Amino acid sequence: MKTKSVKSHARMPFLTGVVFVAPALLLFSVFILYPLATALSYSFFSWKGTLQGSFIGLENYEAVFTRKPFDEALPNAFSHNLLLFAGAMVFQNTVGLLLAMALHKIGRLKRLFQTMFAMPYLVSPLVVGYLWSLLLSPLFGPVNAILKAVGLEELALPWLGDPTTAIWAIVFITAWQWIGFPMLLYGAALGGIPEEITEAADIDGATGFKKFRSITFPLLLPALGTVSILTFIGAMEAFPIPYAVGGSTGSPAGATDVMALLFYRTAFESGDVGSIGTSSALAMLLFLFIFGVAVALRLALSRGEKRLYG
């Protein structure tokens, strides 16, 4: 089979290959490669409006750490992205995993439940953000109406209007939307655990928690890795939900600001003459951070898997 396919591969004429690949390569180059390379170069130059000035090395990068308003806005926005990642991870790996375990071997209703739990994941995050901003409204919002109805009046707060609770509301909304995905991934991983292993553990007298720790957990690890990486990327790129809830300025008082919003404001709303340079530097920093951590997580994961399975 192998030698045969190698022989046939060699037969595809180079020119045919080029013709077939050309449209995709053209689109990819013009709309992905060229913009990435250009954004990188933008970040090393000084700018006056849309007029490119001289090469200034890393000055734009220095500016986004030290100059106003970045010196405060950058750590503020970045901390919210991290919080979003941490919150979503906790929610997904407790509630999501619990749901997957409850669904495991449940029989006929499984598909129905999976469909119901995964539904929010498909809805536009912008719609989700706007929907929750209405649901959590202190005036006519149903959430506070329910809280009052069940006697939890002290919890009927203006969740999105208060700077201390607004970011937590966004963490919850995001986790609520995402949970279907880890639930499905963990479900698939649980389904892949061979029956013999759990049976062998039963015979050896392993109890609930011990069984989970030494059998289920190691076999869930690849799924946990995938969930971590995708949650990380999603949390760092968060944009539509914070935009819907707090607008482009991250109101109230920057309490819901995130990196993508900061980038958007710098690039399109700041009115600063050097904004092309500073926003490109911001984009590249975020780009490097997301890509770097995603690759590092992937490597750590495959190393961990190797250690577990030899």
Partner 1 sequence: MRKRLNVMAIPKHTLLWLYALVSLSPLSIMVLNSFRTMKEMAREPLAMPENFNFTSYEKAWVTASFETYFFNSMFVTITSVFIGTSVSLLAAYVFARSKRKIFALMEGLFLSGLLLPVFLAILPIFYLFDALGLISNLWGLILVYSALSIPFSSFILAAFFRQLPIDLEEAARIDGAGYFRTFFSILLPLVRPAIATVIVFRFVPIWNDFFYPLMLMRDRAVYTLPVGLTRFFGEYQTDWATLFAGLTIATIPLVILFVVASKQLISGLTAGMSK
- Rounded-to-integer distance, Cα 19 and Cα 28, Å: 15
Q: What is the CA radius of gyration of the chain?
A: 25
Single out the segment in contact with partner 1 by CB under 8 A; choices: 65-73, 79-87, 156-164, 272-280: 272-280
Q: Which of 46, 67, 83, 131 binds partner 1 (CB under 8 A)?
A: 131
Q: Is 180 exposed, middle or buried (0-12, 13-18, 19+ CB in 10 A)?
A: buried
Single out the segment in contact with partner 1 by CB under 8 A; choices: 71-79, 111-119, 151-159, 162-170: 111-119
Interface positions, 245-264, toward partner 1 (CB under 8 A): 260, 263-264
**What is the token pair recorded at 190?**
């649980």
Q: Which of 201, 206, 215, 239 binds partner 1 (CB under 8 A)?
A: 239
Nearer to partner 1, 242 or 254 (CB): 242
Binding mask 164-203 for partner 1 (x = CB under 8 A): ------------x--xxx--xx-xxx--x---------x-
Is-contact 178 121, C-beta < 8 A? Answer: yes
* Degrees, nearest 5: CA angle 182-184-189: 90
> To the nearest whole angstrom, how small is the minimum distance from the Cβ of residue 163 to partner 1?
21
Q: Are strands 51-55 and 45-48 parallel, antiparallel or unpaired?
A: antiparallel
Interface positions, 30-49, toward partner 1 (CB under 8 A): 30-36, 38-39, 42
Interface positions, 145-164, toward partner 1 (CB under 8 A): 145-146
- Report if residue 279 touches partner 1, rule: CB under 8 A: yes
HEC readout, 194-263:
CHHHHHHHHHCCCCHHHHHHHHHHHHHHHHHHHHHHHHHHHHHCCCHHHHHHHCCCCCCCCCCCCHHHHH
Single out the segment in contact with partner 1 by CB under 8 A; choices: 60-68, 119-127, 158-166, 299-307: 119-127
Nearer to partner 1, 101 or 164 (CB): 101
> To the nearest whole angstrom, how small is the minimum distance from the Cβ of residue 89 to partner 1?
18
Task: In the chain, count H helices and then E strands.
Answer: 17, 2
Nearer to partner 1, 28 or 65 (CB): 28
- Report if residue 219 touches partner 1, rule: CB under 8 A: no
Q: Which of 46, 67, 93, 120 binds partner 1 (CB under 8 A)?
A: 120
Is-contact 224 93, C-beta < 8 A? Answer: yes
